[in-house]
Amino acid sequence: MTIASGEDTYCRFDFAGLPVAEPMQRSLARLFATRSARWNSLETATAYWTALGAFARFVAEQPDVVEDLDGLTAAMLKRWRARNIATSGGISLMRHIRPLLKLDERLAAGPVAEELLRRLPTHPSKRRAFDAQEQQHVVLAAQRQFRAALLRVRDNALLLDRWRSGELPRGSREARLGALLDHLARTGHLPDHDRAVNSERRVVGGTSWEDTWGRLYLDRS
């Protein structure tokens, strides 16, 4: 099976190489193709393929020969669950295999279907909630940071409005700054032609982000 991963770029998944019987190879390929309609990245396809490889190896290790997916038993899926819960990354494997198997009509009812519907365990979070004092520090820091950004953007936006309405004296520093802000608002950056660089620096006050695009836009933080 081949999946496009970009313009003129493809990735091939060889289901014939999975260590299970040919009928199951075909069934898994069909489910994989059906599920792939919901994917938008090669990384997702690769994650499902990795999980399929692990599942196929598990099936191949079982004492009972399973020709196709309808030969899976609840006991087998319980063993698959127990193995993955006990290993690193096992929960992720199950999260990829379960939605694939649920697509098969032969597994839509009965003990196998019930096993596929069992909730997966979740790992306890290692994050610790802020205590009251820590939360207050965060809130105050955020307020200071946002207020500074708000005042910066608001002042420059007001100056831009004044320039666009013709209120600023022609030739004044404010008018020149208003013209630069207008260009910034329309294009996302200041003019970059060489003759304007030194003049712009004097008008905006420097080349840092606060003096240039930061006059009208928030930074990432």
Question: Which residue ranges make up each domain of the chain?
Answer: 2-117, 132-215
pTM equals: 0.53
pLDDT of residue 104: 93
Q: Which long-range contacts (CB under 8 A, 24 or more apart) does 104-110 make?
A: 104/27, 104/31, 104/69, 104/70, 106/69, 106/70, 107/69, 107/70, 107/72, 110/74
CB atoms within 10 A of CB 23: 14
Which has the closest alpha carbon to 62: 51, 48, 78, 42? 78
pLDDT digits (tens, 9 = 90+) for 88-146: 788 889 999 999 999 999 999 999 999 999 988 776 557 788 888 999 999 999 999 89
Stretch 34-58: mean pLDDT, rounded?
89
Q: In whole numbers, what is the pLDDT of the chain averaged over residues? A: 85
pLDDT digits (tens, 9 = 90+) for 148-207: 899 999 999 999 999 999 998 988 888 988 998 998 898 888 776 445 555 666 777 777
